[in-house]
Protein backbone atom coordinates (compact mmCIF):
# COMPACT_ATOMS: atom_id res chain seq x y z
CA UNK A 1 0.00 0.00 0.00
CA UNK A 2 1.39 3.42 -0.93
CA UNK A 3 1.95 5.91 1.84
CA UNK A 4 -0.27 9.09 1.92
CA UNK A 5 2.69 11.13 0.65
CA UNK A 6 3.23 8.81 -2.33
CA UNK A 7 -0.51 8.88 -3.11
CA UNK A 8 -0.47 12.68 -3.32
CA UNK A 9 2.57 12.65 -5.59
CA UNK A 10 0.94 10.35 -8.12
CA UNK A 11 -1.10 11.61 -11.06
CA UNK A 12 -4.73 12.22 -10.16
CA UNK A 13 -7.22 12.74 -12.98
CA UNK A 14 -9.48 15.78 -13.00
CA UNK A 15 -12.76 14.84 -11.34
CA UNK A 16 -14.63 18.11 -11.92
CA UNK A 17 -16.86 19.10 -14.79
CA UNK A 18 -14.96 19.64 -18.03
CA UNK A 19 -16.07 22.74 -19.89
CA UNK A 20 -15.31 24.04 -23.39
CA UNK A 21 -12.51 26.60 -23.87
CA UNK A 22 -15.05 29.42 -24.25
CA UNK A 23 -15.57 29.38 -20.48
CA UNK A 24 -11.97 30.55 -20.13
CA UNK A 25 -13.14 34.00 -21.26
CA UNK A 26 -15.34 34.21 -18.17
CA UNK A 27 -12.41 33.29 -15.91
CA UNK A 28 -10.19 35.92 -17.57
CA UNK A 29 -12.93 38.54 -17.15
CA UNK A 30 -13.36 37.59 -13.50
CA UNK A 31 -9.64 37.93 -12.79
CA UNK A 32 -9.57 41.31 -14.58
CA UNK A 33 -12.38 42.63 -12.40
CA UNK A 34 -10.61 41.38 -9.27
CA UNK A 35 -7.54 43.39 -10.27
CA UNK A 36 -9.69 46.52 -10.54
CA UNK A 37 -11.49 45.89 -7.27
CA UNK A 38 -8.17 45.75 -5.42
CA UNK A 39 -7.31 49.33 -6.44
CA UNK A 40 -8.20 52.11 -4.02
CA UNK A 41 -8.45 54.55 -6.90
CA UNK A 42 -11.26 52.47 -8.36
CA UNK A 43 -13.32 52.74 -5.19
CA UNK A 44 -12.66 56.47 -4.95
CA UNK A 45 -13.89 57.12 -8.49
CA UNK A 46 -16.74 54.67 -8.04
CA UNK A 47 -17.83 56.70 -5.01
CA UNK A 48 -17.80 59.80 -7.24
CA UNK A 49 -19.97 57.95 -9.75
CA UNK A 50 -22.40 57.02 -6.99
CA UNK A 51 -22.67 60.68 -5.99
CA UNK A 52 -23.75 61.50 -9.52
CA UNK A 53 -26.23 58.63 -9.45
CA UNK A 54 -27.77 59.86 -6.21
CA UNK A 55 -28.02 63.36 -7.70
CA UNK A 56 -30.18 62.03 -10.53
CA UNK A 57 -32.02 59.74 -8.14
CA UNK A 58 -33.13 62.52 -5.78
CA UNK A 59 -33.79 65.00 -8.59
CA UNK A 60 -36.26 62.54 -10.12
CA UNK A 61 -37.93 62.03 -6.76
CA UNK A 62 -38.09 65.76 -6.01
CA UNK A 63 -39.50 66.75 -9.40
CA UNK A 64 -42.23 64.09 -9.35
CA UNK A 65 -43.13 65.02 -5.75
CA UNK A 66 -43.40 68.71 -6.61
CA UNK A 67 -45.63 67.96 -9.59
CA UNK A 68 -47.94 65.82 -7.48
CA UNK A 69 -48.14 68.21 -4.52
CA UNK A 70 -48.28 71.57 -6.28
CA UNK A 71 -49.69 70.75 -9.69
CA UNK A 72 -52.36 73.46 -9.57
CA UNK A 73 -50.36 76.19 -7.88
CA UNK A 74 -49.03 79.14 -9.87
CA UNK A 75 -45.96 81.31 -9.54
CA UNK A 76 -44.99 84.68 -10.94
CA UNK A 77 -42.17 84.66 -13.49
CA UNK A 78 -41.26 87.90 -15.30
CA UNK A 79 -44.59 89.42 -14.41
CA UNK A 80 -46.70 86.49 -15.65
CA UNK A 81 -48.50 83.67 -13.89
CA UNK A 82 -47.16 80.21 -14.69
CA UNK A 83 -48.33 76.89 -13.27
CA UNK A 84 -45.67 75.17 -11.23
CA UNK A 85 -46.24 71.92 -13.13
CA UNK A 86 -45.53 73.69 -16.42
CA UNK A 87 -42.40 75.26 -14.98
CA UNK A 88 -41.18 71.83 -13.83
CA UNK A 89 -41.81 70.41 -17.29
CA UNK A 90 -39.40 73.01 -18.64
CA UNK A 91 -36.70 71.41 -16.54
CA UNK A 92 -36.74 68.60 -19.08
CA UNK A 93 -34.20 70.69 -20.95
CA UNK A 94 -31.76 69.82 -18.17
CA UNK A 95 -32.51 66.12 -18.54
CA UNK A 96 -33.72 65.56 -14.99
CA UNK A 97 -37.34 64.53 -15.47
CA UNK A 98 -37.01 60.87 -16.47
CA UNK A 99 -37.04 61.43 -20.24
CA UNK A 100 -34.70 59.88 -22.79
CA UNK A 101 -32.33 62.81 -22.29
CA UNK A 102 -32.14 61.96 -18.59
CA UNK A 103 -30.63 58.56 -19.36
CA UNK A 104 -28.51 59.83 -22.25
CA UNK A 105 -26.97 62.59 -20.14
CA UNK A 106 -26.45 60.15 -17.28
CA UNK A 107 -24.50 57.81 -19.57
CA UNK A 108 -22.57 60.78 -20.95
CA UNK A 109 -21.28 61.93 -17.55
CA UNK A 110 -20.87 58.52 -15.93
CA UNK A 111 -19.01 57.28 -18.98
CA UNK A 112 -16.34 59.91 -18.53
CA UNK A 113 -15.66 58.65 -15.01
CA UNK A 114 -15.47 55.09 -16.33
CA UNK A 115 -13.01 56.15 -19.03
CA UNK A 116 -10.73 57.76 -16.45
CA UNK A 117 -10.56 54.52 -14.47
CA UNK A 118 -10.01 52.43 -17.60
CA UNK A 119 -7.24 54.72 -18.81
CA UNK A 120 -5.45 54.35 -15.47
CA UNK A 121 -6.08 50.61 -15.17
CA UNK A 122 -5.54 49.60 -18.79
CA UNK A 123 -1.86 48.83 -18.25
CA UNK A 124 -2.78 46.60 -15.29
CA UNK A 125 -5.52 44.74 -17.17
CA UNK A 126 -3.73 44.16 -20.47
CA UNK A 127 -0.32 45.83 -20.69
CA UNK A 128 1.24 43.75 -17.94
CA UNK A 129 0.26 40.54 -19.75
CA UNK A 130 2.61 41.54 -22.56
CA UNK A 131 5.25 43.20 -20.39
CA UNK A 132 5.65 40.26 -17.99
CA UNK A 133 4.94 37.49 -20.50
CA UNK A 134 1.64 36.42 -18.96
CA UNK A 135 -0.04 36.23 -22.35
CA UNK A 136 2.15 33.30 -23.34
CA UNK A 137 0.89 31.48 -20.25
CA UNK A 138 -2.74 32.13 -21.22
CA UNK A 139 -2.23 30.97 -24.79
CA UNK A 140 -0.30 27.86 -23.74
CA UNK A 141 -3.57 26.56 -22.34
CA UNK A 142 -6.20 24.95 -24.60
CA UNK A 143 -7.80 28.30 -25.42
CA UNK A 144 -7.56 30.50 -28.48
CA UNK A 145 -6.52 34.10 -28.87
CA UNK A 146 -10.15 35.09 -29.37
CA UNK A 147 -10.95 33.74 -25.91
CA UNK A 148 -8.29 35.98 -24.38
CA UNK A 149 -9.60 39.08 -26.18
CA UNK A 150 -13.18 38.19 -25.32
CA UNK A 151 -12.29 37.74 -21.66
CA UNK A 152 -10.58 41.12 -21.44
CA UNK A 153 -13.45 42.85 -23.25
CA UNK A 154 -15.94 41.21 -20.89
CA UNK A 155 -13.88 42.40 -17.94
CA UNK A 156 -13.89 45.97 -19.22
CA UNK A 157 -17.57 45.67 -20.08
CA UNK A 158 -18.45 44.43 -16.62
CA UNK A 159 -16.80 47.48 -15.10
CA UNK A 160 -18.40 49.90 -17.59
CA UNK A 161 -21.86 48.44 -17.05
CA UNK A 162 -21.38 48.52 -13.29
CA UNK A 163 -20.91 52.29 -13.51
CA UNK A 164 -23.45 53.09 -16.24
CA UNK A 165 -26.04 50.47 -17.18
CA UNK A 166 -26.82 49.16 -13.70
CA UNK A 167 -27.48 52.64 -12.20
CA UNK A 168 -29.50 53.56 -15.31
CA UNK A 169 -31.75 50.51 -14.81
CA UNK A 170 -32.23 51.55 -11.17
CA UNK A 171 -33.26 55.03 -12.34
CA UNK A 172 -35.73 53.43 -14.76
CA UNK A 173 -37.29 51.36 -11.99
CA UNK A 174 -37.46 54.40 -9.73
CA UNK A 175 -39.12 56.55 -12.40
CA UNK A 176 -41.78 53.89 -12.89
CA UNK A 177 -42.50 53.58 -9.17
CA UNK A 178 -42.89 57.35 -8.85
CA UNK A 179 -45.51 57.33 -11.61
CA UNK A 180 -48.34 54.95 -12.48
CA UNK A 181 -46.05 51.94 -12.82
CA UNK A 182 -48.75 49.67 -14.31
CA UNK A 183 -48.73 51.73 -17.50
CA UNK A 184 -45.48 53.70 -17.25
CA UNK A 185 -43.18 50.69 -17.64
CA UNK A 186 -45.05 49.53 -20.73
CA UNK A 187 -45.13 52.97 -22.32
CA UNK A 188 -41.44 53.64 -21.64
CA UNK A 189 -39.94 50.21 -22.28
CA UNK A 190 -37.83 51.89 -24.99
CA UNK A 191 -35.86 53.60 -22.21
CA UNK A 192 -34.98 50.26 -20.63
CA UNK A 193 -34.03 48.62 -23.91
CA UNK A 194 -32.13 51.73 -24.98
CA UNK A 195 -30.16 51.79 -21.72
CA UNK A 196 -29.19 48.15 -22.16
CA UNK A 197 -28.26 48.79 -25.79
CA UNK A 198 -26.25 51.89 -24.89
CA UNK A 199 -24.34 49.90 -22.30
CA UNK A 200 -23.67 47.14 -24.84
CA UNK A 201 -22.30 49.66 -27.35
CA UNK A 202 -20.01 51.17 -24.72
CA UNK A 203 -18.88 47.68 -23.72
CA UNK A 204 -17.88 46.64 -27.23
CA UNK A 205 -16.33 49.91 -28.41
CA UNK A 206 -14.52 50.91 -25.22
CA UNK A 207 -13.49 47.33 -24.48
CA UNK A 208 -11.89 46.70 -27.86
CA UNK A 209 -10.31 50.15 -27.99
CA UNK A 210 -8.81 49.83 -24.50
CA UNK A 211 -7.40 46.35 -25.12
CA UNK A 212 -5.93 47.41 -28.47
CA UNK A 213 -4.41 50.57 -27.00
CA UNK A 214 -2.97 48.77 -23.99
CA UNK A 215 -1.44 46.12 -26.24
CA UNK A 216 0.48 48.82 -28.12
CA UNK A 217 1.67 51.15 -25.34
CA UNK A 218 1.56 48.80 -22.29
CA UNK A 219 2.33 51.64 -19.85
CA UNK A 220 -0.05 53.76 -17.81
CA UNK A 221 1.24 57.24 -18.72
CA UNK A 222 1.25 56.77 -22.53
CA UNK A 223 -2.13 55.07 -22.29
CA UNK A 224 -3.61 58.02 -20.40
CA UNK A 225 -2.15 60.43 -22.97
CA UNK A 226 -3.62 58.49 -25.88
CA UNK A 227 -7.06 58.27 -24.27
CA UNK A 228 -6.93 61.98 -23.51
CA UNK A 229 -6.21 62.64 -27.17
CA UNK A 230 -9.00 60.32 -28.33
CA UNK A 231 -11.75 61.57 -26.04
CA UNK A 232 -10.73 65.16 -25.24
CA UNK A 233 -8.46 66.54 -27.95
CA UNK A 234 -10.56 65.13 -30.80
CA UNK A 235 -13.64 66.76 -29.29
CA UNK A 236 -11.95 70.18 -29.27
CA UNK A 237 -10.65 69.73 -32.81
CA UNK A 238 -14.02 68.48 -34.07
CA UNK A 239 -15.92 71.41 -32.54
CA UNK A 240 -13.41 73.89 -33.96
CA UNK A 241 -13.50 72.45 -37.47
CA UNK A 242 -17.31 72.23 -37.39
CA UNK A 243 -17.49 75.95 -36.63
CA UNK A 244 -14.81 76.97 -39.14
CA UNK A 245 -16.21 74.98 -42.06
CA UNK A 246 -19.83 75.20 -40.85
CA UNK A 247 -20.31 71.47 -41.30
CA UNK A 248 -21.48 69.10 -38.55
CA UNK A 249 -19.70 66.19 -40.23
CA UNK A 250 -16.46 67.23 -38.53
CA UNK A 251 -18.04 66.25 -35.21
CA UNK A 252 -17.52 62.63 -36.25
CA UNK A 253 -13.93 63.05 -35.08
CA UNK A 254 -15.28 62.99 -31.52
CA UNK A 255 -15.80 59.30 -30.74
CA UNK A 256 -17.58 60.02 -27.46
CA UNK A 257 -20.04 62.27 -29.26
CA UNK A 258 -20.61 59.51 -31.83
CA UNK A 259 -21.44 57.06 -29.05
CA UNK A 260 -23.77 59.68 -27.53
CA UNK A 261 -25.67 60.02 -30.82
CA UNK A 262 -26.03 56.24 -31.03
CA UNK A 263 -27.30 56.19 -27.45
CA UNK A 264 -29.87 58.90 -28.17
CA UNK A 265 -31.15 56.88 -31.11
CA UNK A 266 -31.36 53.72 -29.01
CA UNK A 267 -33.26 55.61 -26.29
CA UNK A 268 -35.70 57.05 -28.83
CA UNK A 269 -34.88 60.71 -28.11
CA UNK A 270 -35.68 63.50 -30.54
CA UNK A 271 -32.63 65.13 -32.05
CA UNK A 272 -33.17 68.76 -31.03
CA UNK A 273 -30.00 70.74 -31.94
CA UNK A 274 -30.35 73.09 -28.97
CA UNK A 275 -30.25 70.13 -26.58
CA UNK A 276 -27.37 68.19 -28.11
CA UNK A 277 -24.85 70.96 -28.66
CA UNK A 278 -25.90 72.14 -32.11
CA UNK A 279 -26.29 70.44 -35.50
CA UNK A 280 -25.03 66.87 -35.54
CA UNK A 281 -24.10 64.38 -38.25
CA UNK A 282 -26.58 61.57 -38.97
CA UNK A 283 -26.69 58.59 -36.66
CA UNK A 284 -25.70 56.13 -39.37
CA UNK A 285 -22.43 58.02 -39.86
CA UNK A 286 -21.70 57.87 -36.12
CA UNK A 287 -22.44 54.14 -36.25
CA UNK A 288 -19.98 53.70 -39.13
CA UNK A 289 -17.27 55.42 -37.07
CA UNK A 290 -17.95 53.14 -34.10
CA UNK A 291 -17.84 50.04 -36.33
CA UNK A 292 -14.62 51.29 -37.93
CA UNK A 293 -13.00 51.71 -34.51
CA UNK A 294 -14.01 48.16 -33.55
CA UNK A 295 -12.73 46.66 -36.80
CA UNK A 296 -9.44 48.56 -36.57
CA UNK A 297 -8.97 47.45 -32.96
CA UNK A 298 -9.63 43.82 -33.87
CA UNK A 299 -7.14 43.92 -36.75
CA UNK A 300 -4.49 45.45 -34.50
CA UNK A 301 -5.15 42.87 -31.78
CA UNK A 302 -4.96 40.04 -34.28
CA UNK A 303 -1.57 41.23 -35.47
CA UNK A 304 -0.10 41.87 -32.03
CA UNK A 305 -1.36 38.71 -30.34
CA UNK A 306 -0.34 36.44 -33.21
CA UNK A 307 3.21 37.79 -32.82
CA UNK A 308 3.46 36.28 -29.32
CA UNK A 309 5.42 33.04 -29.29
CA UNK A 310 3.64 30.25 -27.45
CA UNK A 311 4.96 26.86 -26.40
CA UNK A 312 2.02 24.53 -25.79
Q: How far is CA 299 from CA 24, 29, 149, 245, in A?
A: 22, 21, 12, 33
pLDDT given for residue 71 in this prediction: 56
What integer pLDDT is reported at residue 154 of this predicted model? 86
Phi, psi dihedral angles at 81 (to 5 degrees)? -90, 125
Report the pLDDT value the prediction gives residue 193, as an integer from 0 to 100: 92
∠ CA 24-26-27, rounded to 5°? 65
- Whether the predicted pLDDT of 139 surpasses 80: no
Q: What are phi and psi of 244, to 5 degrees?
A: -70, -45
Q: Is the pLDDT reported for residue 289 higher than 90?
A: yes
pLDDT band at 287 (very low <50, low <70, confident <90, very high): very high
pLDDT in tens, 181-236: 778 888 888 889 999 999 999 989 988 888 888 887 877 777 778 887 888 888 88
What is the pLDDT, as a whole number, of residue 307? 63
Per-residue pLDDT, 201: 92
Please tell me which residue, 67 or 6, carries the higher pLDDT value: 67
Mean pLDDT computed over 233-254: 88
Does residue 135 surpass a pLDDT of 80?
no
pTM for the structure as a whole: 0.82
pLDDT tens string 68-78: 666 555 555 55
Residue 126 above 80 pLDDT? no
Torsions phi, psi for 161 (to 5 deg): -70, -30
Higher pLDDT, 140 or 165: 165
Other Cβ atoms closer than 10 A to 268: 14
Q: Residue 116: its pLDDT value, please? A: 80
Residue 293 scores a pLDDT above 80:
yes
Please, where are the H alpha helices in the chain? 4-9, 23-37, 40-69, 84-89, 100-122, 128-131, 134-140, 145-163, 165-178, 181-187, 189-217, 220-228, 234-245, 255-267, 283-306
Given this model, what pLDDT does residue 262 score?
93
Q: Distance between CA 305 and CA 133 in Å, rounded?
A: 12
Rounded distance between C-alpha atoms, residue 229 and residue 233, angstroms: 5
Mean pLDDT of the 163-172 span: 89
Query: Which has more confidence, 173 or 91?
Result: 173
Amino acid sequence: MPTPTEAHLRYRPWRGTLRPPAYAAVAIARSSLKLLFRRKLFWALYGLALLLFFFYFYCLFLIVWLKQQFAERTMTILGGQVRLSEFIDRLDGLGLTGSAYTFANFFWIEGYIAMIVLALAGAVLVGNDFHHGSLAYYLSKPIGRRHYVLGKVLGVGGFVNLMTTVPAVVLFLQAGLLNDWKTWYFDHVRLLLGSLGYGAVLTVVLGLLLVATAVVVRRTVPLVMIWTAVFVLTRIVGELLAEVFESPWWRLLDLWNDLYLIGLWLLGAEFVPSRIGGPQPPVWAAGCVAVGVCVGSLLLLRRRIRAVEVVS
